[in-house]
Amino acid sequence: MPLLQIENLTHFFGGLRAVSNFEAQIEKGEIVGLIGPNGAGKTTIFNLICGLYRPTEGKITLNGANIAGLPAHEVASTGVGRTFQNLRLFRNLTVLHNIKIAQYSQINYSLADAFLRTKHYQEEEKKAEERAYQLLDTLSISHYANQLALNLPYGDQRRVEMARAMALKPKLLLLDEPTAGMSPAEMMRMAELIEEIKEKFDLTIFLIEHRMRVVMGICERIVAIDFGALIGQGTPDQIRNDPKVKKAYLGEEVVM
Amino acid sequence: MKKYHLPLGLIGLFIVLTGASSLDLFSDYIQTVLIYMGINVILTVSLNLVNGYMGEFSVGHAGFMAIGAYITAIITTRVIPHFVFGAPLIPTGLYPPEVGTWAEGPVVHLVFPVILLIGGLGAALAGLLVAVPSFKIRGDYLAIITLAFNYIVKSAFENTQALGGSRGLTSIPRITTVPWVFFWAAVSLWAIRNFIYSSYGRGVLAIREDEIAAQLMTVNTRRSKILAFCTSSFFAGIGGGLLAHLLLYINPSTFSIFKSTEVLVMVYLGGMSSVSGSLLGAIAYTGLVEVLRPLDLWKWVLIPLLLIFLMLFRREGIYGGREFKFLLPKEEVRAYAAASD
């Protein structure tokens, strides 16, 4: 059974068909890239998977359970982590609090425990904090733990966002343009980091990426879309030579 | 032993205040001002939870105060006298003179906290009724809904003749004392601080920062908002109950939009998202109103002017976004010091 299975996914924004009969399967442990020209519907597909939009039609199953139409916070609790193209950190909070917020559904104490700061509360908080520090260490940003997120350099903010997504203990990690705005050197470091955390946390990764060096370098399989519909999928080499993909990116004449 | 310094200090202060007020060390006037300060601290810190920490805009705090005030006053002037003296629940004429006497013994101080809790819970329930529909939608609607709520509560009490209509409730026994207000103010500061630094509170902060990201980080945003709003209303109800038993009479116009505005002013004066700021703001504003009392009408020219200058030159208020060390949980102190470098 694939970890993520998307069948017949269609989504309308008013009269605009943003996603049309999109299909995809992602096996456990894969890194799959999602590519397509600007406006092809890549981010919309991510938003549909993580529950920000309710699909007009179609089925999305994670580990066999249907997640289409669930509210976003429930999808996240079932194990879908997500980062954004334009960072969405909790900017005025510390890095540590950013991570702890992602542990929201893993921290178990009642409201009374919180008001009275009971022993159970202290233990749960301590556990959460230790795990948060482990994650920060893994991404080598633990020295920023008590800094406000907005004060960090851009590349490190991306790392914080990654750590925050990892704090959800995701089975599936959705990365929306993880190298956007990065220099070539930073970009290569990010690519290495993605492979590293994938191994370390036994993750499955679905990522949107425009920079072909990254996509072709780290993805085992690539899914290409245009106008919200699937136009090709396969290994990086297959995609590179796929005429439909070339046409979508480069236009008709080049292919002729 | 260090961890007991604060609680011991608070208990000591409580005892000193009890002694001082029972020995009449303060004049009645000073006592009243101190009580107002305490009540305003409760109202300000509870409104700050919604307007500061959650980043929503509630303008109907007095509505929740009214509910707490009426519930507690009904209990002390009607329900208890009904069971103790067999007085009618809805009096037709003047109250029988013995009605207030039950509140003269020391036992009242054991009963009153329970009555206040009931008042607070009533206000929290009203908060739930407002929150459930309001937080289905996003944006500025909360301001409009809470404004409407404030008016609805006021006119509902005005038109309920059984509760005295626009004359309100009278002959409320004086139970609110300086030490008790001190106690409740400390409890509200402590409880709201604990809420904010818990996982529930972090959810609320996440909503303020980025609601979409909060959802994707598993925060049930709707539930978090409702929880914070009910907590805020609960303490408004407690504040209302304390106020009723200081004023000795309440009527619907005590809880008009002006009262709500006053609380808003204290929140902004003290500073958003700061428990310490609310403490300072409430004390500073209450003190200012008293100090400027000789200026009479000019007071209401000077105070708004001060506020305008505050907004122009120090938008974050007196202490916005910062905290006194003694109001921080111990595990946050180091982090706080590092973050404010």
In A, minimum Cα distance to B333 occurs at A146
What pLDDT, on the 0 to 100 scale, is given for residue B96?
Answer: 65
- What residues in A contact B334, CB-CB < 8 Å? 146
Looking at chain A, how many residues does it have? 256
What is the mean pLDDT of the segment spanning B13-25? 79
Place of tokens 């799959």: A32
Q: Residue B5's pLDDT is what?
A: 73
Q: Is the per-residue pLDDT at B135 higher than 80?
A: yes
- Across the interface, whether the CB atoms of A76 and B198 are under 8 A apart is answered no
Residue B1 banded pLDDT, cuts 50, 70, 90: very low
The predicted-structure confidence for B144-192, as pLDDT tens digits, reads as follows 999 999 999 999 999 999 998 999 998 899 999 999 899 999 999 999 9
| Residue B154, CB-side half-sphere exposure with 13 Å CA sphere | 19
**Which residues lie below 8 Å from residue B228, measured CB to CB, with a gap of 6+?**
B49, B50, B53, B54, B195, B200, B201, B204
Query: Strand A4-13 relative to strand A80-83: parallel, antiparallel, unpaired?
Result: unpaired
How close A14 gets to chain B, by Cα (Å)? 20
The whole-angstrom separation of Cα B277 and Cα B266 is: 9
Average pLDDT over residues B18-28: 80
Enumerate residues 161 to 180 of chain A having a beta carbon within 8 A of any beta carbon in chain B.
164, 167-168
The answer to whether the beta carbons of residues B198 and B30 sit under 8 Å apart is no
| Average pLDDT estimate for B7-27 | 80
pLDDT values of chain A reduced to their tens digit, one per residue, 256 residues: 899 999 999 999 998 999 999 999 999 999 999 999 988 999 999 999 999 999 999 999 999 999 998 999 999 999 999 999 999 999 999 999 999 999 999 999 999 999 999 999 999 999 999 999 999 999 999 999 999 999 999 989 999 999 999 999 999 999 999 998 888 998 999 999 999 999 999 999 999 998 888 888 899 999 999 999 999 999 999 998 898 888 888 776 554 4
Whole-model pTM above 0.80?
A: yes
DSSP H helical ranges for A50-201: 72-77, 95-102, 111-116, 119-138, 154-166, 184-201
When pLDDT is cut at 50, 70 and 90, the band that residue B97 belongs to is low
CB atoms within 10 A of CB B120: 27
Instruction: Determine the pLDDT at residue B303.
Output: 84
Q: Dihedral sign, CA of B10, B16, B20, B21?
A: positive
Pick A4-79+170-255's CATH classification: 3.40.50.300, 3.10.310.30, 1.10.3720.10, 3.90.550.10.
Answer: 3.40.50.300
- Spatial distance between the Cα atoms of B278 and B46, rounded to a whole number of angstroms: 9
Question: Once rounded to an integer, what is the mean pLDDT over residues B13-41?
Answer: 87
The beta strands (E) that lie in A14-109 are given as 16-26, 31-35, 57-62, 65-66, 80-83
Mean pLDDT is lowest, of A161-175, B217-231, B296-310, for B296-310
Chain A residues whose CB is inside 8 A of the B206 CB are 90, 93, 101, 104
- Structure confidence at residue B341 as a pLDDT band (50, 70, 90): low
* pLDDT the model gives residue B252: 96
Give the residue among B258, B238, B246 at the shortest CA–CA distance from B147: B258
Q: Which residue from B191, B194, B205 is facing A93, i.e. has the nearest CB?
A: B205
User: Which tokens in the block code for residue A55?
Assistant: 């699909």
Residue whose C-alpha is closest to residue A36's, from A256, A230, A235, A255: A230
Q: Does A18 touch chain B (CB under 8 A)?
A: no
Nearest residue of A to residue B332 by CA position? A146
Q: What is the side-by-side strand order in the sheet with A172-176?
A: A80-83, A172-176, A204-208, A31-35, A221-226, A229-234
| Span B212-239, average pLDDT | 96
Domain ranges of chain A: 4-79+170-255, 90-155
Burial class for A112, CB neighbours closer than 10 Å (0-12, 13-18, 19+): exposed
Mutation for B interface: A86, A97, A126, A162, most B CBs within 10 A: A97
What domains are defined for chain B? 27-334 (1.10.3470)
Give the pair of three-digit tokens for residue A61: 């199953």
Q: What is the pLDDT of residue B3?
A: 63
A194: tokens are: 């993605």
Q: Please report residues of B whose CB lies closer than 8 A to that of A51.
A: 215
Scanning every residue of chain B, which has its alpha carbon at the shortest distance from the alpha carbon of A166? Answer: B217
pLDDT at B128 over 80: yes
pLDDT number for residue A255:
47
Q: Residue B334 half-sphere exposure, CB side, CA atoms within 13 Å?
A: 3
Whether the Cβ atoms of residue B159 and residue B165 lie closer than 8 Å to each other: yes
* Residue B255 neighbours by CB distance under 10 Å: 28
The span from the CA of B176 to the CA of B242, in Å, is: 6
Q: Which of B199, B321, B331 is facing A107, going by the closest CB pair?
A: B199
Longest alpha-carbon distance in chain A: 72
Placement of tokens 């004060």 in the chain: A151
